[in-house]
Structure 1
Amino acid sequence: MSHIHRKRDKNLGVLELVAIALGGMVGGGIFTVLGISVSMIGVYTPLAFIVGGALAFLAVYSYIKLAVFYKDEGATYSFFKRTFPNSSLAASLIAWWVIFGYISTLALYAYTFSSYAISAFTFADNEIIRKIVAGLIILIFTLVNIWSVKGMGKLEDIMVYTKLVILTIISFVLINNSNTTIPVLIQNNEELNIFSILLVASLTFVAFEGFQLVINAVNEMEKPEINIPKSIYISLFLAMLIYFILSYGAIISIPFDVIIQNEEYALASGAEKILGHWGTDLVILGALLATSSAISGTLFGASRQMSVIAKDGYSPQILSKRKNNIPYMAIIIMAVFSFLLILLGDLKVILEFSSVTFLLVSLLMAYANFKIYKKTSSSLFLTILAMFGLFLGMVLILYYEYTTQVEQLYFIASLYIVLTIGAFLYSFQRKK
């Protein structure tokens, strides 16, 4: 997601593309969802990441097939628009939904960044301070993205590979300091509830979001038909492995009540108990790097998509404005809206909104692939299985909302109503 601009001669290799995808995926994902996951399913958390990863593989299948077929950097939005060329409403809806999905993940990463940044202070649980710090980090990366694309790319490379090293160290240190074993935890835990595991896997779907950023770099790579599938599958497998090992290390070394009590910064609070001061610092550094690179990369990739959508007439024209080829208005508007979302919601509602949105958008991608599966030479079985799995994931989250926090469901529904009205108005105006 970083180096897209600085290498106009097509030399993005698999290594860089994997960095782009992992930079987006291993963002705030693990740091955000670990606490929530343990509070819901305890010892089965690592299993939920495997199931979530399998769901992401299904979603990725159609994305890759469409990406290789269309070779269009507009990714999600362009694929849908080109598969359903006669429906301006379809293009408009997916445009609005996907961009707001990115805005919500931006809010999620900033909120997580801020939770870890202040976790060592006495005001760690102060909501107002947490939201102010989240706003500040968005502001910093907004300025970085507007000022220099090249600097942003260099920074991104360093952040992505450093955070992977740190996450590996944290995982091994946690596993070495285990104070229990999985069989003991399973004995003390309630029976295996398949429904809950599937629900948590759906909720954590957002932790695998970010692979699409590889597709935005299609014009900067050699042999996209080989490099897109290769880099996305490798990075998805690595993300799944990292999440599994890290969550496994966390549950065998950190008492559940500590994770649940501090779910916004679960890893940091647990590390202090086991590893003392330096362990906490390492975890906090890992979290800050992970969320920073994800904030930066999401602003970079999504603002370009936002600018293309505006240029096509599906959103306010002002968003297409560029200076030195940087879509500065789209970057600013994204930053403003993600901060508004932070002010309005809390971690859980932002997480749920993000996951529902990316499940929905991935479902629509699978449907687009289903429509032209012969042209993309896709397996009909895998495409239908993906549609079923993604639909099930969405239904599970909405059902969970309905039965546990109905007011959050209203909040998510009202956001969708506003987005759908906006999309409808712009597609109608464009028809005229």
Structure 2
Amino acid sequence: MSTTIPKKQMTVMQAAFIGVGSMVGAGIFALLGAAGAVAGSAVWVSFLVAGTIAGLQGYSFAKLGAAFPSGGGMLAYLARGFGEGHVTGIVSWLFYVTGAIVGAMVASSFGGYASAVLTGRDPGWAKAFAVALILVMTALNAVGSTAVARVQSLIVKLVLAILSVFAIVTIANWNPALLDPAGYPGVREIIASVALTFFAFLGFGVITFTAKDLPAPSRQLPRAMYLALAIATTVYVAVSLGVFGTLTADQVVEYGATALAEAAKPTLGQFGYVLMVVTALLSTAGAVNASLYPSVGMTRHLALVGQFPPVFGSSLGRRHVPVGLLVMAGLAAVMVLAFNLNSIASLGSAVALLVFSAVTVAHFKVYKETGALLMVLIIALVATMGTFVVFCTTTLVNEPATAAALVVILALALITDLLWKRHRRRAN
């Protein structure tokens, strides 16, 4: 009697939407105010440059994914270059924490919007709503990747449709004087803001973990990667043009996370404000959903190859809830309660830039197998590390607590890997 293997369900569009959902929720609603404080009305330029850097990294990831599709995503690519030693282990712990950071940051944005609508911006309620969202999306991810993909596709389609209407309406009625290049800050300020707006693209790395759910990952993964980055960059540039063509840079900074909703008022009235608030809630909810998605396949893979303790590859209860998912959700909830929104964003940017750079360095060792152009990889590494250096010399210098937290995270990743590897050697 022959048995049939069930077909994998995820499509290229669904895989792309997981990345788009993670990026758009993290970026356009949460960071416009912070980016505007640095780059002024030139934020659209900042998003365009950040998107280009993300595209260079996306090229590297797409080539790796096509050659070595794996449920371990970019961490499996890392092992191709460095082996299963300490470098891969340390970076794996860092990436795992980055997932929690991104989830926490976007959940905090959701909490801020929900609190503004329901409780008059009460900080306590904002944190409560954020933690509640993390719990709900953890439950959804526990159901399985098919459920995640279907929910994510629905959310992203709604969000993109509404943001497209918003961009078209605001750009059609903008005040060109507000976007006059004569009023832009200096090149240094715009470059400094790229380190912040790059956070808006961190979600594209999530796409590498969809390989386990794609029928033909070697062909479909690159398509999903490029599609997601193209959509996100277009949305960011168009929406930032609409917002900064409607409001002054000072107004955008003042309104912060609700800047999009305020920018909708002049042309769409109170209905536009409410519509954008609802869109923000949907988008940030989808981003938390997408940020938790990699934890299942990633931790199972890392536990299987010995980088993480075996418990991370196990499940709990009759519903077999993955331990790796529960731990990431727990970390995200703790960060929501312990840090403010800007601190979380800064940590996420710094750690992710280091992780992406490490994957590119690993790619150098196998680029002949992937068929990637070495010069493109070099440019990607220089651009990414350059952004990290600018970030450290501008943003982190003014946030000593965040800088200290970054050092602690790096040290903990190192210590955790060393202790686990020593325990594993002794056990064997």
Per the normalisation by structure 2, the TM-score is: 0.91
Identify the residue that residue 163 of structure 1 maps to in structure 2.
159
Counterpart of 2:227 (choices 215, 234, 239) is: 234
Over the aligned positions, Cα root-mean-square deviation in angstroms equals 2.3
User: Quick check: 2:94–2:409 contact (8 Å CA) kept in 1?
Assistant: no
User: Quick check: 1:203–1:352 contact (8 Å CA) kept in 2?
Assistant: yes
Letter paired with 2:110: F
Post-superposition shift, 1:387? 1.1
Query: Is 1:429 matched with 2:423?
Result: yes
Post-superposition shift, 1:137? 1.1
Counterpart of 2:36 (choices 35, 38, 42) is: 38
User: Quick check: 1:28–1:294 contact (8 Å CA) kept in 2?
Assistant: yes
User: Quick check: 2:346–2:402 contact (8 Å CA) kept in 1?
Assistant: no
**Pair 1:331–1:403, CA change in 2 (3 A):** closer
Identify the residue that residue 113 of structure 2 maps to in structure 1.
116
Query: Is 1:127 matched with 2:123?
Result: yes
Letter paired with 2:138: T
Letter paired with 2:129: V
Counterpart of 1:22 (choices 20, 23, 42) is: 20
Q: Deviation per CA, 1:277-324, whole angstroms, max 9, x where unpaired? A: 211111111111111111112212223312332343333433222268
Post-superposition shift, 1:418? 1.9
Q: Identify unmatched segments of 5+ residues in structure 2.
A: none
User: Secondary structure at 1:254's aligned position in 2?
Assistant: coil
Q: Identify unmatched segments of 5+ residues in structure 1.
A: 1-6
User: Quick check: 1:11–1:221 contact (8 Å CA) kept in 2?
Assistant: yes
Identify the residue that residue 282 of structure 2 maps to in structure 1.
289
Query: Is 1:303 matched with 2:296?
Result: yes
**Which whole-Å CA distance do the structure 2 matches of 1:315 and 1:223 have between them?**
28
Counterpart of 2:393 (choices 388, 395, 399) is: 399
Counterpart of 2:93 (choices 84, 96, 104) is: 96
**Which whole-Å CA distance do the structure 2 matches of 1:15 and 1:114 have between them?**
28
Letter paired with 2:209: N
Identify the residue that residue 380 of structure 1 maps to in structure 2.
374
How many residues are treated as equivalent by the alignment? 421
Indicate the larger mover: 16-25 or 388-397: 16-25
User: Secondary structure at 2:315's aligned position in 1?
Assistant: coil
Query: Is 1:181 matched with 2:179?
Result: no
**Pair 1:378–1:92, CA change in 2 (3 A):** same
**Pair 1:143–1:71, CA change in 2 (3 A):** closer
Post-superposition shift, 1:148? 5.8
Identify the residue that residue 333 of structure 1 maps to in structure 2.
327
User: Secondary structure at 1:26's aligned position in 2?
Assistant: helix
Post-superposition shift, 1:403? 3.3
**Pair 1:272–1:128, CA change in 2 (3 A):** farther
**Which whole-Å CA distance do the structure 1 matches of 2:217 and 2:302 have between them?**
23
Letter paired with 2:114: A
Post-superposition shift, 1:16? 2.8
Letter paired with 2:226: Y
Counterpart of 1:73 (choices 71, 74, 96) is: 71
**Pair 1:230–1:143, CA change in 2 (3 A):** closer
**Which whole-Å CA distance do the structure 1 matches of 2:393 and 2:97 have between them?**
22
Query: Is 1:315 matched with 2:308?
Result: yes
Post-superposition shift, 1:131? 1.3
Question: % of aligned pairs identical?
Answer: 24
**Which whole-Å CA distance do the structure 2 matches of 1:77 and 1:325 have between them?**
27
**Pair 1:72–1:154, CA change in 2 (3 A):** closer
Identify the residue that residue 51 of structure 1 maps to in structure 2.
49
User: Quick check: 2:68–2:218 contact (8 Å CA) kept in 1?
Assistant: no
Counterpart of 2:355 (choices 339, 351, 361) is: 361
User: Quick check: 1:159–1:290 contact (8 Å CA) kept in 2?
Assistant: yes
**Which whole-Å CA distance do the structure 1 matches of 2:228 and 2:398 have between them?**
34
Letter paired with 1:365: V
User: Secondary structure at 1:32's aligned position in 2?
Assistant: coil
**Pair 1:232–1:339, CA change in 2 (3 A):** same
Identify the residue that residue 3 of structure 1 maps to in structure 2.
none
